[in-house]
Amino acid sequence: HCVEVSDAAWPYLRRNLAPTAVDVRLGDMADAFADLDGTVDVVVANPPYIPLTEYEGVPAEVRDYDPALALFSGPDGLDATRVVADVAARLLRPSGWVCSEHADAQGESAPQVFVRHGGFRRVADRLDLTARPRFVVAQRAGRMAP
């Protein structure tokens, strides 16, 4: 399953995933997949994570050509990550996992989003292949039914 918020990106996503069995949906991740609540084992997200205050520091080839919707996420860059935490808590089975990318400068603040949420345990940050902090993982609190 995957969700895309951009009307402009939607046709490309559908075309790219047409030969697969992936359930593609157009909409906002905040309310996507209500029919899957509590049944998902893994949620993977690549939300926008650049703070609005960093606009000028983003390379021109990115800032001028990539949609702002895909890049920027509030004053601290974590607005979308907070939504990911809420959605993952809703979608995941107890003990399911969420993995969400973030900027390397958010190696402490992104995991704190999941800690503060309160619905997760085993929150940890992970390094990418260049040894930079780049994604947070967290396990949904609760026990699996026998």
The 8-class DSSP code of residue 128 comes to -
Comparing 97 with 66, the larger pLDDT belongs to: 97
**Which of 139, 146, 134, 75 shows the shortest CA–CA distance to 110?**
134
H-helix segments, 2-78: 10-17, 60-63, 68-71
User: What pTM did the predictor assign?
Assistant: 0.91
H-helix segments, the chain: 10-17, 60-63, 68-71, 79-91, 109-117
Query: Using one digit for the tens of pLDDT, what is the confidence trace for 87-142?
Result: 999 999 999 999 999 998 999 999 999 999 999 999 999 999 999 999 999 999 98
**What is the overall mean pLDDT for the chain?**
93
Q: Is the sign of the CA dihedral 141, 37, 85, 133 positive or negative?
A: positive
**Confidence class for position 19, pLDDT limits 50, 70, 90:** very high
Q: What is the pLDDT of residue 146?
A: 46
SS3 at position 68: helix
- Over 60: is that where the pLDDT of 145 sits? no
